[in-house]
């Protein structure tokens, strides 16, 4: 049995609007399904890198509206 992993210090950006848009990104947090599924396996640095891209990603996804 493997040792338990510590709880992430960087929380998920999920806001419980779990719907994939046409772009394939969640319309609530703007992550990809792969990023959502692997979130707990990412290091804090990887989570921060993803979070740092989310506002720009959201802007790109909604720039035509």
Domain ranges of the chain: 38-62
**In the predicted model, is pLDDT for residue 1 greater than 70?**
no
DSSP summary character for residue 23: T
**pTM for this prediction:** 0.79
**In the predicted model, is pLDDT for residue 64 greater than 70?**
no
Torsional sign, CA 28, 31, 35, 41: negative
Per-residue pLDDT, 57: 92
Per-residue pLDDT, 6: 64
Secondary structure of 29-60 as H, E, C letters: CCCCHHHHHHHHHCCHHHHHHHHHHHHHHHHH
What are the tens digits of pLDDT across the range 8-59?
678 899 999 999 999 899 999 999 999 999 999 999 999 999 999 999 999 9
């Amino acid at each position: 049995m493997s040792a338990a992993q510590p709880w992430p210090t960087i929380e998920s950006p999920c806001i419980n609007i779990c719907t994939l848009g046409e772009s394939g990104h969640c319309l609530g947090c703007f992550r990809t399904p792969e990023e959502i599924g692997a979130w707990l396996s990412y290091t804090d640095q990887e989570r921060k890198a993803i979070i740092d891209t989310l506002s720009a990603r959201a802007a790109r996804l909604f720039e035509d509206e």
